Each structure stands twice: as C-alpha cells, then as structure tokens.
C-alpha cells in the first residue's frame, strides 16, 4: 500500500530515452497559405515561375535607348524621340534598355528632355531578379513567418505542405471538474489539459482533449488503448505521482512498456514515459507548474526531435536579486521576473511551489538550475529564458516591500498607461535591502503616520551616499478586525491570529498591548503567525481565529468588522536620482491624480490629504526598522 | 504630369503624427479562453474564487494532529491513533493540522507508524495559497501566454475580454492578379495585402481584404469611403508612389485630410498617411520590402499606441561581416542573416533592393540604420532584431563564395538533418576574404580541376597561421551554352554574354580564347557582364544573347545545348580546426553519402570520383585567385 517512487532517472538520461525510443510519425498536411504562419515546412517549396518573368521597370519614368542619351547634361539637354512612359512594374519593350526616373525628366511639348546620360539597364529589373522558376524558396524545416507568406504568394504558391502531429490528451482524476464548472471543496478545474492543448497547438500540433476519466484503472486503460490508435503522442494528465489512486503506471505496463517513472527534475518529478503500440505515452504530473515543466522540457523536445519548431526562447543574462537554492541532484526550473534597473537586468525568483500558478503568471522568464548545483548566491549572473516580449521589460517597474490594496489600485492605473508594476511583498526591511542593492526601483513601505523622517533609526544604510525620496501614497487606517466587532479589551478573551514580526500590523498590535498593559502571552494565538494582513482576514473569515489586526480596506473586502486603533503612512521609497526616470514620474503623476484619490476614497480607510507629497532623507539620517511610537488617531487618544 | 514627392518627413516626425493624430478605437471582444493565447487583456481579470478554497493536502500521505507526533524518532516510532489518509488535493478535515508524506510512514497493522515529528501546517496548502477570490490575475495590457491560460481556467475564467481592432485592406492596381492566378507578363500577384493580413492578424487585428481595385480614382474613392465605415484603420496597398496612375493621394484629399506623403525611410519612402472621418488611412508602397517596412514600422506602432502588443523583437549584438552603406538623411531598414562563428554573432547584410523578397526570406533579422549615419564599416558591432528563434542560429552554417547547384542539393540534404545552410554568392575571392575574417564557416570555391593546392598563389593569406582544409564536393563540367549548339569557333559570330571577372566561367572563357588565338574584342558582347552563370543561361534562353559559358547542369536546367570545354573542382574551404565542428562533420558525412552522389548523377555534369576527399593547405602556401591553366577534359586536349 505504501508505494515509493521508482529510482529517479537524470533529466539527461530521460530526454535521451524520450527522443530516441520512438520513430518520427512524419505526418504532414496541406494548408492554405493564409493559415501557414508559424507552421513548419514539410516539403521544400520551389517558385512556380520567375519573378519578374520578363524585364520590367523598377521606377516610374520613361523607357529609353541608352545610346540616345549619350552626352546629355544640364548644358546639353537632349529631347528624346524614342521613348515610352512606364510605371514601376511595366514591361520594358525590347527596343529600350534603360529607364529614366520621372524625377529626372522635363516635359518638352509631347516629348521629354533629359539632362544626364542613362547607363544601360539602369532602373530595369531583369527577369528572375527576385527568384527564378523552380528555385528553392523555403527548405524543409523552415518555420513560416508572415513576411515569408508575401513572398510565397508572389511566387505562385497558394498551399503548403507542413508538418502535422496528432496528440491525444487524457485528463484523469475523480477530483476534476471540467472547464466552466465551479469546483466544490476538494475539487479542481481540469486545467492542465487545456494548457497542454494551447501550448502544443502553438507548435502546430492537433490536440484532442478527451473527457475526464475517473480514477479507475479499467476506464483509464480503455481510454488509453483507443487514444494511441489515432494519435502520434498521448499525454495522460495526473495519475502519475505515488498516491493511492494513481493507476497510470500499471495501465501503461498492462498495455505496453514503462520506460521511466520519476525523473530528478523539479517541478515535475513524477513524470512518466511509456510505449504503447510503438507510440509514446507521457504522464503529466497534476501540479500545474510540474505539468508546465513536463510540457516544455519533455513534450516540446519530443516534437522538436520530430522536426517541429520550439516556441522561441529568448535567453538573457540577469543578475540574481536574491539567493536561489536548489536541491543538488535535481535539475530545477524556476520562474523569475526580469526587470531592468539602470543598465542591469535583474532577476527576481518567483518561488518554487509547484501548485502556485500565479508564480508563472507573474514571471516573465524562467531559469534552469543544473542538477549538480545547490543554487546561486544573490548577485550571481545567470541565464534566463524570457516568456514575454523583451521590450516589455523596459516598460516595467519593480517594487519590493510591503503591499497594500492602495498599491494594487495604483498598478491598475499604471497598466492603463502602458507602465507595468511588478510588486512583491517580502516586507519593509527586505524592500529597503532590495533598494540598497539596486534590486528594485522602489520600495513600498508602511511607516508610522506623520513621523519626521529624521527620527528613523535602523541598520539599513541609504545606498551609495545618495538621498532617498519618500513619495507619500496614502495614510492607512489600521484596526482590530473580527466577525463580531471586538475591541482592544476583548483581545485576551478571543482567539487571536498574528502576523510576522516585520509587518506593520504586528507593530501596531505590540504598541497597543503595551499601552493597554496587556501581556502578549495572555493573548491566545499571539504566537500563531500568518504571512500578511490579507491572511489574517481570511483566517478570521474562515473561523480559524476571532480577531487580528489589519487595514479597514482588507477588513471590508472580507466582509468583517473593523475597530480603528492607529494610522500609518504608506510611502514609496526611491533613490532620489530616480525621480527623473519617466516611469517614476508617471507613477507620481498617477498618485497625484484625482482619479487615484477617488479610487482610494471608494475603497475606504485611506486619508489622502498629503498623497503625492515627497520628502527626502539624506545619508546622515538612518531609517528605523519600525519606529515607535505609532501615532494614534485622535479618537483613541486620551 | 511630371509629379515629384512632397517634401519628405523624418521618420520620427511621421511616427509622432501617426501615433498622436487619432483616438484609440478601444474596441474589445469576448473570446473563449482556449482562443485567447497571444491576445491582449482589455479588462483586468480577477479570480472567481480562492484557489484552493479550503485547506488541502499538498502531498499524498496521512493527515495528522501535529501534537500527537511530538517526540517521534527512529528510536521512538509513534503509532498514530487519529489520522486519515489523504491524496494530494484532498480536503484536510478540521481536526488535523499537518500531513505526513506517504514516503515517511510505515504500515503498522491498520494504522501507521511515524519516526519524525510533524511541524504544524506542514504539507498543507492553506486556502487562497495560489490566489484569493477577486484578486487580480492579469492586468489590462497583458499578452496572454499558454501557461497563463492554465491559471485562468483554474481560477474559474472561461472567457476573456481582449482588445480588438478592425482593419480594412484595399489592394489597388490594374497590374494585380489575385492569389492563385498566374500573372501574365507585367502582372504581379496581389501579395502585399495577404502579407498585411497575416502580419496584423498575429497582433490580434481582424483584417478584411477587399477585392482588387483598378487604377481609377472613382473606384478607389468609393472603396475607401465605405472601408472607413466599419474599420478602425484602413490600409491602401500601392498607389502611393509618384507614377502616372497613383491616385491615392488625391482620393484621400477629396475625402479627408492628407497628413503626410513621403517619409525619409528606406525602403518605404512613398508611405502616405491620411485621415478620413477621423480614421487613419495608411498608404502602403507597392514594393514588397517597402510594404514590409511600413507594416512593421508604421502600422504596428499605431496598433501598439492603441494598446496592442508588437510581435516580440529579440535584439542581439552582431559583428557586421561586410560594410553596409546607407543614405544619410534616411532611416534605413536592412535585412541581415545572423550566424554564430565561434563565440561571435556575425551579421551578413542581405541586400537592400525593395523588390527582392528573397532577401527577407533568407534573412533571420534586420537592422535599423538611423538617419544621420552613412552606414557601417565591416567589423562594426550593431544591434539586429531577430525574426526567427534565436536557437536556430546555432543550427546554421554560413557559406560564402561561389554557389552551384551541387551546393543547393547538399543544403537540401542538410536541411533534412536539421542543419541549415545560409549560402551567399559573392564569388571565390569574397569567400576567401570572409573565411580570413571569420565571417563565414566555409567558402565554396570553384578551382581548376585537379590542381595541386600548393600551386595556388594569390593575395589571400590563410588566416591565423592555421591550415585550410579543402573538402572536395564534385568536379564540374564547364562549356559553351547556346540555343543552337555553338562551338568555340562560333564565338566570333555570335552575340556573347559574359560574367564578372571573378567568376569561374569568365576564367574558362579567357583561357579558351587565348588557346584558340581569339582576341576577346572580336567577341561581340564580351564586355556585357551579368552576375553569374544562371544569368548567362537566362539571357540566352530569353534571346538577349546567343552564347555564354556555364555548367552543364545550368544549361540543361534552362533547356539549352551544351558543348563541354573544361572541368573545374568544386571545393569547400574551411579552417582545418573546424573539421571537428559537429555541423561540418555532418556536412562531410552528407557529401560522402551515396544519396548525395546519386543526386549529383541525376542532375548530370558532375564527376564524383573524388567527392569527399579532404586536402590541406598550410600557411606556407598561398592560394591563387584564379589559377591558370585550366585543366581541360581529355576530349578537348590535343
């Protein structure tokens, strides 16, 4: 009953098995030329006729006999007797051997005058100049681009023979619901085969997604048996890890041969390869990022070995913004966000959880950490493959620090102006560290309301002896969140849910307890920490706790009650010299816009009186980590 | 009647007018998620529910109460009383707060034993770990990628609102025939609007190609008047240069306003922009490469200013293999082929003729030469935007020298093995120069048959004190080509067509005339030069000349008669150290293959006895430019 993985194969070994164990299907199909973009030429394409087929004019002008023009000059203009007007593309009659451009002729009655001799064959396009009849236009294997299609049409080609491959995709799992159905508790939408279909279709594959198969070995066996008939490759989604209901391995063994199950790759370890009736059967793990890895690193190379073109991979060299660990012995693939800070491309790992699809959504690239390595230190230069247009990097600002709904709204406004915000939420200190090491453009920080900046003290040095500018985004109301409207005095009787030490709500709580004379350890759950304020609200909404500290906007977004206890300033810290960067200027303009103020008012819980104000902090002053005391709203003072 | 261009605008000025004179249409449409790849998000997309919605297991294993596991170790295994088996994705019942992986449990009767304490919340995916309900998944402006679609489906999204734009495309010109019709003399296939449709469709535009409009201002006016009704942008193809039948400018003026006609850009100078009923009307020049430039540098930026995503542009820095001239005052766009030689990316300009579509087909990138420059010297580093997968560069060999059908056949074989050959035909000397300056992998050369290599002398030094290897491809039969079977003695009575001084057929001719005691100037047309042997055959086939020199394969391909006069060796020169390069080794294997020999025999005119033989030439020896005497076939000797 307790199963373990078969011995893991190395990625290299698995890929060699994958690409050498099967015969290429060599399937082709004829497609109309208008639908050929992105497809791979299966048979060499030859021109149907020469272009041009005869000598034609390359210019608008007049066709002349070059010998008639000898000696023409400004002082000796020659009026032509023999000529014919031609437009670009017109046939040159045999008696003429040159064209004079319309710009170089002067009207002279019913004739024309020229002032310079014509060189024989000037401005004439000889027959076959572009291509000659039966000459190769595109070789086998060429990926057809839009501008190639213009040429093919010109050369008389209306259909092309391109590579084709049929891929059958089987979703398995009793927990799955199909696209469009809202999953119940413990269910998930069957999304991996949708992703597989879209991904492989872009390579030119014809994908057939089969209906969801329940976790039943007989059903899976019958589905696989029929899928290998019409397809050149079959993917079985999920059912390839080592749980009690994973039958795929046994099914493959019963119908054919298992080539491997388990590869030292992360994510994607449970990947499986079988051979049934000579066809490859690839088992996709259930975790979305594992499925992505198997699609990109296994399915795509298999099709590539059959002549298909991979999705273009754009390699760039980036400096790692933070350390990246890796299991030695495993080839790891990690999503990253790449941004440009100054002249350096900077890569921020987006986490390695195989279940968190937002990591890939928020990333614009990925890196491959080879098996022997234990990872990379921050600052290492490494190769990243981009998954977006490289140009989009220049339109993106990287913000690292403490996130708040106020920033999400701002990012929305910025997106509409073509300015993209890549924001991560490691907290104030990590944000300031990133700013120091030039690993972000700006650090969003939550600071005590209306504190003089010079009172800050901390271990964080201001980078490069420069000044920091603090752009005030909004003042945020902080308070006690609960289902029942609990107050400070209720905290010793409630199940509390706390946040990490470096978060603003934690600081507010500690100040509050101190001022009320409450020992933190009287508060049940004081040691139970979640990542951030939204997690606090979620825990309370879901009944895991009764009270916590968060902002009023997060409380109301979760339908919870809120008792205000403090105000804090939400600030964007940037190096002062970056204030001239057009992207930062755009951000300031948006922060100061009435639209943004209105958005914040609509959310509620924000004060915008000083929104857009900029303060500076020079090298002499040192920032405090979490300055005390927190300034209380007047309603709570005294 | 004689029209001149309006004053040319600078590219910058024209682009500013283009992108600021029109209101974005802000058209959107709802598409099913499976069809959303590559489209641009028009309205921010939010998660329909949290994923996961409840706490679920992250592993296959057993759910436990962490407090029950305290103190478990190898020496103190604990047999659990309270547990439940869970698979990955199963709901964690409220009484449990941790999951122990199946790999870490031992069966113990009907229960399980564990040997390590479980940390609270280990292997549990908390509710909302991936995304929380109503949180932003994709902002406005995001280009949807295949893996994004997996996430969207998981988060309950089945349709997305994406940007849309309607583009009307009007082909004008009485010389045009539609796709699929063979053009008569002076006609061309209407291909530019096909190219425009494919190109703009890839950005997400809905294109309507209208039927071809004859060169008649009334027809054009009526077509444009109706096209601006349903479309956000109208392209008028051709009719924008300055010939007698170019009515587009007048038509635009009669219906609206002309913003510019003529921009200092090459190719693409005749580009035109008008405004009719508030809509942009862009005039595409007729020359295909000019039309490409206007699509890529004008139409795409206009759509981009409306929020559409450009085709990804991947910039690389390349070393220019040969000088590239440019008209100062003009922004020029030049197609290039980029290859990797050693560690350097090397860029070979593909010519600047606006009519030669094969230049773009054979290129894998292009460069922009800014208006102030007069071009670049060979060896300059410049930025090139790739139009193919960067990975394809590593699979390509650059061959520079003298081309022959024998090489085309070889390239065909290589393509089938995934090895791409980029071959250009500047002649022997240029090929050796390219080899010296590391601007090609190999130089195909036509040399006198069976000459000892050491007899070669020339000004070409062998690069880097290394050795050159000469891979023998085939021996080629050379002779007199004519419609009527002319012989050497007939040359003084025939209209001859010659080739350039550095071509093998020219050398053969000069040797032949010398041996026959014929003064070249007795030969009519001796000074009339065309580019290469195929052009000689074409000139004779078309009746422009009576006789020339070429290979028997070219003669028979043109249906001409052939009288053999000499043999020459077709050799591939490479630096000796490159013989270990897997691509060169593949090429040698193919040259030696029976398949290749059979192909050459099928073409005819080749001797393959020593095909595949490799000879070396060390630094001491110096290659001759065109060594004499040419060795004659025995049939002609004595």
Q: What is the pLDDT of residues A234-268, one digit of tens each?
A: 999 986 555 556 789 999 999 999 999 999 999 99
Chain A partners within 8 Å of B195 (Cβ): 146-147, 149-150, 153
Identify the pLDDT of residue A23. 94
Beta-carbon count within 10 A of A629 CB: 11
pLDDT tens, position by position, A84-102: 999 888 889 878 888 999 8
- Kindly determine whether residue A154 and residue B85, on different chains, have CB atoms separated by under 8 Å: no
Where are any strands of DSSP class E within B460-541? 468-482, 498-499, 529-530
Beta-carbon count within 10 A of A82 CB: 11
Chain A partners within 8 Å of B194 (Cβ): 33-34, 149-150, 153
- Nearest by CB to A154, from B60, B143, B191: name it: B191
- Tell me the three state secondary structure of residue B43: coil
The residues near A249 (Cβ < 8 Å, ≥ 6 apart) are A240, A258, A261, A272, A283
B109: left (phi > 0), else alpha (psi -120 to 50), else beta?
left
**CA count, 13 A, side-chain hemisphere, A121:** 9
Identify the pLDDT of residue A633. 31
Q: What is the average pLDDT across B219-229? A: 96
Q: How far apart are CA A525 and CA B133, in angstroms?
A: 25
B415-420 long-range contacts (CB < 8 A, ≥24 apart) are B415/A44, B415/A139, B415/A140, B415/A141, B415/A142, B416/A140, B416/A141, B417/B586, B417/B590, B418/A141, B418/A307, B419/B395, B419/B583, B419/B586, B419/B587, B420/A139, B420/A141, B420/B392, B420/B395, B420/B396
Q: How far is B450 from chain A (nearest CA, A)?
A: 30
Query: Which of A168-182, A557-571, A601-615, B529-543 is predicted least confidently?
Result: B529-543
Question: Which H or E element spans position B353?
Answer: none
- Tell me the three state secondary structure of residue A82: coil
Residue A1 reports pLDDT greater than 50: no
Q: Is B146 on the interface with A (CB under 8 A)?
A: yes
Cα dihedral A480→A485→A491→A496 (10° resolution): -70
Q: How far is A87 from chain B (nearest CA, A)?
A: 6
Q: Are A536 and A550 in contact (CB under 8 A)?
A: yes
**Structure token pair of residue A490:** 């209720």
A-to-B residue pairs, Cβ atoms closer than 8 angstroms: 318
- Kindly determine whether residue B87 and residue A356, on different chains, have CB atoms separated by under 8 Å: no
Q: Is A546 on the interface with B (CB under 8 A)?
A: no
Nearest chain B residue to A241 by CA: give it. Answer: B60
**Mutation target among B83, B124, B147 for the A interface, most CBs of A within 10 A:** B147
Residue in the block written with tokens 């497809």? A39
Biggest CA pair distance of chain A: 111
- Nearest by CB to B186, from A89, A128, A392: name it: A89
The DSSP output letter for A322 is: S
Which of A569, A276, A617 has its CA nearest to residue A466? A617
Cα dihedral A560→A561→A567→A573 (10° resolution): 10
Q: What is the phi/psi pair of residue A8, to 5°?
A: -75, 135
Q: How far apart are CA A313 and CA B393, in angstroms?
A: 12
Q: How far apart are CA A375 and CA A356, in angstroms?
A: 21
Beta-carbon count within 10 A of B210 CB: 18
pLDDT tens, position by position, A34-81: 999 999 999 999 999 999 888 889 888 999 987 788 889 999 999 999
Cα dihedral A375→A376→A377→A383 (10° resolution): -160
Residue A625 reports pLDDT greater than 50: no
- Kindly determine whether residue B146 and residue A37, on different chains, have CB atoms separated by under 8 Å: no
**Structure token pair of residue B423:** 């071959």
- Tell me the three state secondary structure of residue A212: coil
**CA count, 13 A, side-chain hemisphere, B65:** 8
Q: Is A44 on the interface with B (CB under 8 A)?
A: yes
Q: Which residues pair with B236 in a beta bridge?
A: B170, B283
Q: How far apart are CA B46 and CA B11, in angstroms?
A: 40
Q: How far is A470 from chain B (nearest CA, A)?
A: 26
- Nearest by CB to B153, from A148, A179, A361: name it: A179
Identify the pLDDT of residue A2. 41
Task: Kindly report the three-state secondary structure assignment for every residue of B77-118.
Answer: CEECCCEEEECCCCECCCCCCEEEEHHHEEEECCEEEECCCC
Identify the pLDDT of residue B449. 74
Query: Which of A188-202, A218-232, A443-457, B225-239 is predicted least confidently?
Result: A443-457
**Structure token pair of residue B13:** 């000025």
Q: Are B102 and B61 in contact (CB under 8 A)?
A: yes
Identify the pLDDT of residue A637. 32
Question: Which H or E element spans position A251?
Answer: helix A248-255
Q: Is A191 on the interface with B (CB under 8 A)?
A: yes
- Kindly determine whether residue A89 and residue B315, on different chains, have CB atoms separated by under 8 Å: no
Nearest chain B residue to A528 by CA: give it. Answer: B120
**Cβ density class A351-368: b for 16+ within 10 Å, e for less:** bbbbbbbbbbbbbbbbbb
Residue B628 reports pLDDT greater than 60: no
- Kindly determine whether residue B2 and residue A53, on different chains, have CB atoms separated by under 8 Å: no
Chain A partners within 8 Å of B87 (Cβ): 243-245
Identify the pLDDT of residue A39. 95
**Structure token pair of residue B607:** 């001797």
Identify the pLDDT of residue B618. 63
Residue B202 reports pLDDT greater than 70: yes
Residue B181 reports pLDDT greater than 60: yes
C-alpha distances in angstroms, A119 versus A106, A216, A461, A614?
Answer: 18, 82, 73, 69
- Kindly determine whether residue A185 and residue B418, on different chains, have CB atoms separated by under 8 Å: no
Q: Are B409 and B444 in contact (CB under 8 A)?
A: no
Which of A205, A240, A198 has its CA nearest to residue A220? A240
ipTM of the complex: 0.84
Which residues 231-260 on chain B approach chain A with CB closer than 8 angstroms? 241-246
């Amino acid at each position: 009953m307790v199963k373990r993985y078969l011995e893991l194969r190395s990625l290299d070994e698995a890929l060699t098995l994958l690409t050498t164990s099967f015969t290429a299907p060599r399937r082709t199909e004829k497609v109309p030329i208008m639908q050929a973009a992105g497809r791979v030429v299966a048979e060499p394409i030859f021109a149907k006729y020469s272009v041009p087929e005869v000598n034609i004019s390359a210019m608008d002008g007049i066709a002349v006999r070059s010998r008639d023009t000898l000696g023409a000059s400004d002082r000796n203009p020659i009026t032509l007797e023999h000529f014919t007007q031609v437009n670009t593309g017109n046939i040159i009659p045999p008696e003429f051997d040159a064209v004079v451009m319309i710009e170089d002729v002067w009207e002279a009655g019913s004739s024309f005058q020229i002032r310079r001799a014509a060189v024989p064959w000037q401005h004439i396009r000889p027959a076959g100049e572009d291509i000659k009849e039966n000459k190769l236009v595109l070789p086998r294997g060429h990926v057809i681009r839009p501008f190639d299609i213009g040429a093919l049409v010109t050369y008389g080609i209306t259909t092309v023979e391109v590579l084709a491959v049929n891929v059958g995709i089987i979703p398995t799992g009793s927990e799955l619901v199909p696209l469009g159905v809202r999953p119940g508790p413990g269910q998930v939408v069957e999304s991996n085969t949708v992703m597989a279909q879209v991904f492989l279709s872009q390579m030119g594959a014809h994908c057939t997604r089969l209906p969801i198969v329940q976790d039943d070995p007989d059903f899976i066996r019958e589905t696989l048996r029929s899928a290998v008939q019409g397809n050149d490759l079959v993917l079985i989604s999920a059912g390839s890890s080592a749980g009690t209901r994973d039958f795929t391995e046994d099914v493959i063994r019963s119908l054919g041969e298992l080539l491997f199950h388990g590869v030292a790759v992360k994510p994607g370890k449970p990947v499986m390869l079988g051979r049934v009736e000579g066809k490859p059967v690839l088992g996709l793990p259930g975790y979305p990022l594992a499925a992505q890895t198997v699609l990109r690193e296994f399915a795509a190379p298999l099709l590539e070995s059959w002549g298909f073109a991979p999705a273009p991979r754009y390699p760039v060299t980036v400096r790692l913004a933070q350390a990246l660990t890796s299991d030695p012995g495993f080839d790891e693939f990690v999503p990253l966000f790449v941004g440009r800070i100054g002249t350096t491309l900077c890569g921020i790992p987006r986490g390695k959880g195989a279940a968190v699809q937002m990591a890939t959504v928020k990333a614009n690239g990925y890196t491959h950490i080879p098996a022997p390595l234990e990872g990379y230190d921050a600052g290492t230069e490494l190769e990243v493959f981009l998954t977006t247009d490289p140009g989009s990097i220049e339109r993106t600002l990287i913000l690292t620090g403490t996130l708040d709904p106020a920033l999400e709204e701002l990012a929305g406004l910025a997106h509409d102006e073509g300015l993209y915000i890549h924001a991560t939420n490691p907290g104030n200190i990590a944000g300031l560290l990133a700013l120091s090491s030039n690993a972000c453009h700006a650090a969003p920080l939550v600071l005590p309301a209306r504190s003089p900046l010079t009172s800050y003290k901390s271990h964080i040095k201001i980078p490069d002896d420069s000044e920091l500018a603090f752009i005030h985004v909004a003042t945020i109301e902080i308070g006690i969140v609960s289902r029942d409207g609990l107050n400070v005095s209720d905290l010793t009787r409630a199940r509390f849910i706390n946040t990490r030490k470096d978060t603003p709500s934690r600081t507010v709580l500690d100040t509050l307890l101190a001022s009320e004379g409450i020992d933190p350890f009287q508060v049940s759950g004081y040691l139970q920490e979640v990542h951030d304020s939204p997690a606090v609200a979620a825990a309370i909404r879901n009944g895991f706790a009764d009270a916590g500290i968060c902002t009023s906007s997060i409380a109301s977004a979760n339908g919870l009650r809120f008792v205000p206890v403090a105000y804090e300033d939400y600030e964007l810290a940037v190096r002062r010299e970056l204030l001239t960067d057009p992207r930062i200027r755009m951000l300031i303009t948006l922060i100061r816009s009435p639209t943004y103020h209105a958005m914040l008012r609509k959310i509620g819980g924000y004060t915008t009186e000083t929104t857009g104000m900029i303060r500076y902090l020079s090298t002499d002053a040192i920032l405090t980590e979490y300055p005390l005391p927190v300034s209380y709203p007047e309603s709570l003072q005294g």
